[in-house]
Copies of this chain bind each other. A is one copy, B any other.
Amino acid sequence: MNNLSEQNYIQQISIDTVLFGYEEKQLKVLVPKLDFKGDFWALPSGFVYQGEDIEQAAERILRDRTGISNIYLEQFRVFGKASRNSMEFLDRLIELNPEKLGEKRHKQQEYDWFTQRFISIGYYALVDISKVVPQKNTLDESIEWYALHELPVMIMDHRQIVEAALQALRSDLDEKQNAFNLLPETFTMKEVQELYETIFDKPFVRTNFQKMILDLDVLERLEKKFTGAANKAPYLYKFKK
């Protein structure tokens, strides 16, 4: 651990991010695994510098893990139960990693900082998964995309945070057209439909879906995409804006 307790962070506030990507007809979430014994997976998280907007902090946390800026971000909820702290998780972490973390008392200051009760601001983010090269940070053993239905067991309430983020994403889709942020630069209508079917976990009727999306008037039609398949080639579209 770095000397987090000495850095210029706001105390007791954390940012937890749920980064969604879309690949192989599945919604995926970027989840780092901690470089400690014991299989600990946690959402990309961080803290807010004194001179930093909370949105900047969320951007920074994601930029550090993805290498890309200008990620589509939405603040969706604050998790503020008094019982919300990492004491249980940290005790187990230390118990399983005595050689690395040493005796509690030798790291008391650091330990105390971490076991404070934290109020966490939840952000979800959407990316074109092909643009991201996941970046381990110093605490990570790995960082990988996990399909939503195959998420590993996560620490604390991180699983519930993912669930709340998914609900927010679905709900936002009614007014915002943010789903297109999950797709590559260009895509076919079929790909859009598969994405929507994945997000809402229900089928759409092809012809009406096509009309509905085109009526949104947010797509620009490009050239055709010839795949070599023995059928009519679909048009490519891009999200205008």
With A10-B11, A51-B82, A53-B82 given, name 7 new contacts (CB 8 A): A10-B117, A12-B12, A12-B13, A48-B80, A53-B80, A54-B81, A78-B78
* Inter-chain contact A54/B119, CB cutoff 8 Å: yes
- Count the copies: 2
A4 to chain B, nearest CB (A): 16
- A75 within 8 A of partner (CB): yes
Query: Chain A interface (Cβ within 8 Å of chain B)?
Result: 10-13, 48, 50-56, 75, 77-78, 80-82, 117, 119, 121, 171, 175
* Inter-chain contact A10/B119, CB cutoff 8 Å: yes
A94 to chain B, nearest CB (A): 23
A2 to chain B, nearest CB (A): 21
Cβ contacts under 8 Å, A121 to chain B: 78, 80, 119
* Inter-chain contact B75/A78, CB cutoff 8 Å: yes
* Inter-chain contact B119/A50, CB cutoff 8 Å: no
Q: Which of A12, A80, A119, A121 has the most CB of B within 10 A?
A: A80
Cβ contacts under 8 Å, A75 to chain B: 77-78
A167 to chain B, nearest CB (A): 11
Docked Cα-Cα span, A236 to B130, in Å, equals 59
A-B contacts, 22 of them at CB < 8 A, read A10-B11, A10-B117, A11-B11, A11-B12, A13-B13, A48-B80, A48-B119, A50-B82, A50-B117, A51-B82, A53-B81, A53-B82, A54-B78, A54-B81, A54-B119, A55-B80, A56-B82, A75-B77, A75-B78, A78-B121, A80-B121, A171-B175
